[in-house]
Amino acid sequence: MGLGFDWIDYGALAFFILAWGGYHFAVEKLSAGRNSLNARMSVYRRAWMERLIVRENRIVDSTIMASLQNGAAFFASTALFAIAGVLALLQATDTALMIFADLPFGIMTTRLAFEAKVGGLGIIFVYSFFKFAWSYRLFNYAAILIGAVPDRNDPDVRAAAGRAAAMSIVAGLHFNRGQRAFFFALGYLGWFISPYILIAATTAVLIVMWRRQFSSDAIEALAVDELVLGDPDIRKRKK
């Protein structure tokens, strides 16, 4: 028995998958990704460990690491709530079908097709939960490695700091993948209204994410090479 999808549904779903996979490949595998915001912040993660070596008191480093762990824990718990929402939506399929059918661009769909769409949304949130949970665990490992960094006079200090930096970068990588799943889940929601909305919403998410990684104010902030005090717009000083 078919799911009741039209060819445009399969085309829109294929576009969604290709957009997500293509963005992942471009940012993490291609050389262009080296100029992304995530890649540049990885440089500062290493710089952080370089500064840690010469610090006598490492309380500030522990505070930063705790903040990173809390962020991962927050999103992991959010993903669990989202999964619970997906399960609740499956229990209210009939009501949801009537709501979506009444929307301006809503297209009538079968119960099986709707449940398949909800199942796909659930898969996205489960994926994001695993990414955030693993990121939280990796930040724990990074905290342990930071604690294991010896005194700066120890001959193994740079190697120990390098391991801590590498673990922090990997933790950040999985955290970014979890957030990426959240963003694309927003585009996926458009499929409940129409496959055309799915294509449009996915394109919008893709553009927003690409701009944030390669042409955002955050990128400009990293380009500032001196401390500017009392200037409400640091970009004016840079120009």
Q: How far is CA 181 from CA 20, 107, 123, 134, 209, in A?
A: 8, 25, 10, 14, 11
107 inside domain = yes
The rounded distance, in Å, linking the Cα atoms of 81 and 101 is: 26
Confidence of residue 106 (pLDDT cuts 50, 70, 90): low
74 inside domain = yes
Q: How far is CA 206 from CA 16, 21, 127, 182, in A?
A: 10, 11, 19, 12
Tokens of 59: 């309380």
- Least confident stretch, 3-12, 64-73, 124-133, 224-233: 224-233
168 inside domain = yes
92 inside domain = yes
The rounded distance, in Å, linking the Cα atoms of 171 and 131 is: 9
- Which whole number is the average pLDDT over 19-26? 94
The rounded distance, in Å, linking the Cα atoms of 132 and 79 is: 8
Q: What is the pLDDT of residue 112?
A: 83
Is the distance from CB of 203 to CB of 181 less than 8 angstroms? no
14 inside domain = no
Is the distance from CB of 167 to CB of 179 less than 8 angstroms? no
Q: How far is CA 109 from CA 16, 84, 100, 219, in A?
A: 19, 23, 9, 43
The rounded distance, in Å, linking the Cα atoms of 68 and 59 is: 14
94 inside domain = yes
Is the distance from CB of 129 to CB of 80 less than 8 angstroms? yes
**Domain region containing 82:** 38-218
Does the pLDDT at position 91 exceed 60?
A: yes
Kindly report, residue by residue over 156-207, the tens digit of the pLDDT: 999 999 999 999 999 999 999 999 999 999 999 988 888 999 999 999 999 9
Q: Give the list of residues 6+ apart from residue 56 with CB closer than 8 angstroms, or none.
A: none
72 inside domain = yes
Alpha helices by DSSP H, listed for the chain, are 7-28, 37-54, 59-91, 93-101, 111-147, 157-188, 195-214, 217-223, 234-238
Sign of the CA dihedral running 51, 57, 61, 67: negative
| Number of separate domains in the chain | 1
147 inside domain = yes
- Least confident stretch, 38-42, 94-98, 226-230: 226-230
